[in-house]
Amino acid sequence: MRNKALFRNVQRLLPTFEAAARHMSFTLAGEEVGLSQSAVSKQMMELENRLGQPLFARAHKQISLTSAGHRLLKAYSLATSQIIDALEDLIQEHSRQIVLSTSTANGAFMLLPRLAELRECFPGREIFLVTWDPQGIEPTGQVDLALTFGKPDFPGLTTRPLFPDILTPVCSPEFLEKNGPLRDVSGLLNCELLYMQAQHPSWVGWRQWLREFALELPKNHQPMGFNNYYNTIQACLAGQGVALGWLRQLGNMLDSRRLVTPLPQFLVTEDVYYLAWPADRTPDFQIELFEEWLTRRYGGAIPGFPSLATPFA
């Protein structure tokens, strides 16, 4: 405790000591730190009294460092150098970092499975991925780029439309094997339907999807609900029921046959995916590389679905 108290007492005197030791002059040190020559001299005497030994050898109109002064200057210079290095690293990390914001589902199903490809879209930059539901815009505003479905509600953003999604039922092969094939859309009413509670107008749920095919959920039908799409799909993968599949997101699981599409019916969304970034500053990275990758990887035609389900133009 005594050493800590001593450090606190002498800490305020160290910048003046460093200036005096570097200039070998109390006068020049005072000009640098904004003190008079006499004030610098008094501070150095206070520092020496607290340390119990002289730091400067004083002669007529000149000073020099004692061995203790040399030790303190070396230690102070080393600590200052380490602090400067840390500050430079932090500044460089901030300038290299790109905060990319999206929804939990977009992050889990579209971005995380292809991190190596994602990093190639931002060469030489650190990516900090933030997920935020429902729409994928982290609300503090500290976002450089966002991938959303539906036009962002937040003001002050420049937006660029990408492509719509394709909605059709999905389930695990095990569920289909256990419960038999679905012969038409009406067969869904006999299945456990897994759904995400709508949190944004852009979200399409079972009721809206079924109405496109002139069907209504019975009043006594009690589907299993979740508060985010990631959990909905995890339940689907576990064979717990049929989910409404957003095929742009689920391409990896469809390719690996972890999920299948048991019916040919589908709905193309009216809303589309968007890229968004703050309108008040010009991005210092190429958005086009990320846009081209998203369009190439996720915006093309999906096997088994008609050509009308094409990217947004």
Q: Which of 46-50, 57-61, 289-293 has the lowest mean pLDDT?
A: 57-61
Q: What is the pLDDT of residue 274?
A: 94
Q: Which sign does the torsion angle of CA 261, 207, 186, 193 carry?
A: positive
pLDDT confidence of 307, banded at 50, 70, 90? low
d(C-alpha 68, C-alpha 58), whole Å: 14
- Asked whether the predicted pLDDT for residue 215 surpasses 50, the reply is yes
Structure tokens at 190: 């006999």
What would the mean pLDDT of 64-79 be, rounded to a whole number? 92
- Asked whether the predicted pLDDT for residue 201 surpasses 90, the reply is no
What would the mean pLDDT of 213-238 be, rounded to a whole number? 87
pLDDT confidence of 309, banded at 50, 70, 90? very low
On whether the CB atoms of residues 56 and 64 are closer than 8 A, the answer is yes
What would the mean pLDDT of 201-211 be, rounded to a whole number? 88
pLDDT digits (tens, 9 = 90+) for 20-30: 999 999 999 99
d(C-alpha 19, C-alpha 50), whole Å: 19
Identify the three-state secondary structure at position 33.
Answer: helix
Hey, what's the torsion of the CAs at 4, 8, 10, 16, to 10 degrees? 140
Q: What is the pLDDT of residue 163?
A: 94
What residue ranges do the domains of the chain occupy? 2-92, 103-298
- Asked whether the predicted pLDDT for residue 197 surpasses 90, the reply is no
User: Domain 2-92, CATH 3.90.1150.10 — does that match?
Assistant: no
Q: What is the pLDDT of residue 95?
A: 54
Rounded to 5°, the CA angle 200-106-296 comes to: 120
d(C-alpha 24, C-alpha 19), whole Å: 8
**169: β partners:** 244
The secondary structure of 41-102 as a DSSP string is HHHHHHHHHHHTS-SEEEETTEEEE-HHHHHHHHHHHHHHHHHHHHHHHHHHHHHHEEEEEE
pLDDT digits (tens, 9 = 90+) for 258-306: 999 999 999 999 999 999 998 888 888 889 999 999 999 999 888 877 6
Specify burial of residue 5 (Cβ count, 10 A radius: 0-12, 13-18, 19+): exposed
Hey, what's the torsion of the CAs at 97, 99, 105, 109, to 10 degrees? -30
Q: What is the mean pLDDT of the chain?
A: 86
- Write out the CATH class of domain 103-298: alpha beta
On whether the CB atoms of residues 69 and 13 are closer than 8 A, the answer is no
On whether the CB atoms of residues 168 and 254 are closer than 8 A, the answer is no
- Asked whether the predicted pLDDT for residue 311 surpasses 50, the reply is no
Q: Strand (E) positions, the chain?
A: 56-59, 62-65, 97-102, 126-131, 145-149, 157-170, 193-196, 224-226, 242-246, 267-278
**131: β partners:** 102
Cβ-proximal residues to 305 (8 Å cutoff; 6+ apart), any chain = 166, 168, 247, 266
Identify the three-state secondary structure at position 230.
Answer: helix
Q: What is the pLDDT of residue 196?
A: 85
pLDDT digits (tens, 9 = 90+) for 139-156: 556 789 999 998 887 778
Hey, what's the torsion of the CAs at 151, 157, 158, 160, to 10 degrees? -30
d(C-alpha 54, C-alpha 288), whole Å: 64
